[in-house]
Amino acid sequence: MTVHRESPMDRPQDSSRLERRLERERRARLRAEAIAEQATRQALHDPLTGLADRTVFMDHLTVALAASEQHGRSLAVLLIDIDRFKLINDSLGRDAGDELLVAIARRLSRAARSVDTVSRLGGDEFAVLCLDVPDRPTAEEIVARFSAAVGETMRLGSTEVVPSASIGVVLASDLGTADAVLRDADAAMYEAKRHGKARFEVFNEAMRTEALERLETESDLRHALERGQFVPYYQPVVELDTHAVVGVEALARWRHPTRGLLAPREFIPICEETGLIVALGRFMLERACSEVERLGLRSRSDIPLKLWVNLSARQLAEPDLVATVAQALTAAGRGPSTICLEITESSLMSDFERSLANLESLAELNVGIGLDDFGQGYSSLSYLKQLPVDTLKIDRSFVSGVGSDRRDTAMVAAIVGLARALGLTTVAEGVETPRQRDELRRLGCDLAQGFLFAPPLPAEAVEELLERGLPAPPLTSAQAARAR
């Protein structure tokens, strides 16, 4: 073993060198630690909002679940999804979208208590882990606080927006794994969206079953089109004055191999979410045009039946919509004026500019455009002013009370009057009783469809109905007087 002895001569110089070296090393170590800490923080925090990311959230949730199991401490998980975020991103740009997310993050952090973990899971989805939530009323108070924070008006550039969120809540006592909790929160959030957004739903078991069914439906749907399981049904549209069938509305049905014939509400929303609606919409258009033509369906005076087809939001904003419609008509050998495409206020919301451009091109081709469920939304009148519409379909919610409810009757009268003044055709939807029919006729509504005349039917059944014809309407009092 060698021991190096320092000579008394060089000691002061050596010791200061050593100190300097130690200091350098200490600084280097601190720097390395700071870099490592920053890297960890960056890796575990969402870079845009600075909130905890999914990994941190799941870690906290796992720890909290273990604690809740051991000590019986209750907790709640909130899954918060910003409503119509895509609309903001698409219409105001990504920077505005980012600005909104940062603002929401700040608001959620402000509304949280010190024991809560607020995180951004990705996209426009945030999650909050709330500890010590003893019961549902407390959870509801917490949710109300977060909703209010999200919903404060804000400015994005020159646009004022009022954000809202759909919130899925899981209240915990016997919770299972962090993954299972988040999945349940997701199912509850989906319910909140489905019930009209800007609201919350607390998870229950039925939602889990529904979520499973939805998953199954989604995977079945992917094959349904190629397996030929979709069929158009056709609901006759009749002239109120004569009961002549002048057209049909094509309505999609799914012949499910085990669940039987399914109505659109069972699959259209999922098709819209997954984008399958574009392919389904194209199929409906092509099949309905060719089928109505193949059967040679004609109305009373040998005029081809008018065909009404529903368009979805996604279809309406598709760049090749006009070409698709033109092709379907050419392939079936039908003229453009024999078809009327139905749009709704909500289908216009996703990309108004592109939808408007498509509608204008279609109108130039002489294809009819109808406003479906008219009166149900908020801006029906402003759309009526801007769009090249030729038909108004009066929403069933007004038709149901016509002739019995004073307000419904007044609304329908006003809509018919407005349509007349603008030279548009009116169609009443969902006519179920002779009383509704008589009143609609008295008010001057042109056409109607509803179970009173015929439900949606397979093509062959429509053919039979056309041969048979519908019984004529009763004479109006004026007609009866004239006949006497």
Residues that bind Mg ion (CB under 5 A): 310, 342, 372-373, 429
Residue 456 binding partner per list ligand C2E, Mg ion, none, with a CB distance cut-off of 5 to 8 Å that depends on partner kind: ligand C2E
Residues 6+ positions from 202 with CB-CB distance below 8 Å:
136, 139, 169, 170, 171, 188
Structure tokens belonging to residue 300 = 């009373």
In the complex, least distance from residue 318 CB atom to ligand C2E, rounded to whole angstroms: 12
**Cα distance between residue 184 and residue 168, in whole Å:** 8
Nearest approach, Cβ of 344 to Mg ion (angstroms)?
A: 7
Residue 473 binding result from Mg ion, ligand C2E, none, given CB thresholds of 5 to 8 Å by partner type: none
Q: Which is nearer to ligand C2E, 283 or 352 (CB)?
A: 283
Q: Which residues bind ligand C2E (CB under 6 A)?
A: 235, 251-252, 263-264, 268, 281, 284, 310-312, 342, 372-373, 429-432, 449-451, 456
Is the CB of 59 or the CB of 432 nearer to ligand C2E? 432
Least spacing, CB of residue 310 vs Mg ion, in Å: 5
Q: 268 touches which of Mg ion, ligand C2E, none (CB within 5 to 8 A by kind)?
A: ligand C2E
The pair of structure tokens assigned to 298 is 């004609």
For 62, other C-beta atoms within 10 Å of its C-beta total 14
CA nearest neighbour of 470 among 297, 232, 236, 251: 236
Q: Tell me whether residue 147 or residue 312 sits nearer to ligand C2E (CB atom).
A: 312
Query: SS3 for 409?
Result: helix
**Is residue 417 a contact partner of residue 194, using CB atoms and an 8 Å limit?**
no
Nearest-CA neighbor of 458 among 264, 311, 252?
A: 252
Q: Using the minimum distance from each CB to ligand C2E, give the nearer residue, 77 or 250.
A: 250
Residue 251 touches which of ligand C2E, Mg ion, none (Cβ within 5-8 Å per kind): ligand C2E
376 close to 409: Cβ distance less than 8 angstroms:
no
- Angle, in degrees to the nearest 10, between helices 178-194 and 54-71: 110
Distances (CA, A) of 235 to 245, 302, 455, 457: 10, 19, 6, 6
Smallest gap from residue 376 Cβ to Mg ion (A): 8
Taking the C-alpha atoms of residue 438 and residue 241, their distance in angstroms, rounded to an integer, is 10
**Residue 368 binds which of Mg ion, ligand C2E, none (CB < 5-8 A, kind-dependent):** none
User: Which residue lies nearer to Mg ion by CB, 248 or 465?
Assistant: 248
Measured CA to CA, the distance from residue 170 to residue 191 in angstroms comes to 13
Rounded least distance, CB 393 to Mg ion, Å: 5
Q: Which does 284 bind (CB under 5 to 8 A by kind): ligand C2E, Mg ion, none?
A: ligand C2E
Judged by beta carbon distances under 5 to 8 A according to partner kind, the member of Mg ion, ligand C2E, none in contact with residue 99 is none
